[in-house]
Structure formats: structure tokens, C-alpha cells
Amino acid sequence: MTPETIDDTKPVTKFCYHCRSHHPIEEMRQISTKTGKRWRCIRSIEATQKGPEARAEFGRRVSEMNTTESKNHARRMNELRQDK
């Protein structure tokens, strides 16, 4: 059983294509795009409806979170390689 499922049948989280992270399914909405239906978090939907400044700020925060997560992952992988 993975942390994203209950009883390996019902997903608890979905991947938001906009902010590129997993969120509880209660915080997600399925929207139609020109490439098909995708899941997007309510937070990102609301941020894009507030205007250009809010969209830019939301994008900066998401980019910062992704950069931090990537650096932490790289650091952990480097530490694991050195431990061997």
C-alpha cells in the first residue's frame, strides 16, 4: 500500500500539473485543457484568477519550493553516495 492510496484502490492525493506537487483530493479540481482533462489544485486556480501580480507571486513561490526540494533531494543523494 502506498501513502497516496487507501486499500490500494482509492487515491488520497492527486498530482497538480500547475504547481507540480501532490495535494489531497479534496483540494483538487479536474479541469479541461486543450490536451485533455487534468487535475489542478484550488490554490493555483484561485491564484490565477486574482490578476497578473498574484499569478507572478504564486509562480515565484512554487518555483522557490521546487528549487528547495530539488536541492534537498540532490544533497540527500550525494550523502547516500558518500556513505557507501
The pLDDT value recorded for residue 11 is 65
pLDDT digits (tens, 9 = 90+) for 1-42: 444 545 566 668 888 887 778 889 999 999 888 989 989 899
67 Cα distance to chain centroid: 13
Query: What integer pLDDT is reported at residue 31 of this predicted model?
Result: 87
Q: What pLDDT, on a 0 to 100 scale, did the predictor assign at position 7?
A: 55
Q: What is the mean pLDDT of residues 62-79?
A: 91
CB 22 within 8 A of CB 16: yes
Confidence band for 64, pLDDT divided at 50, 70 and 90: very high
Strand extents, DSSP E, the chain: 5-6, 10-11, 13-16, 21-24, 28-33, 36-41
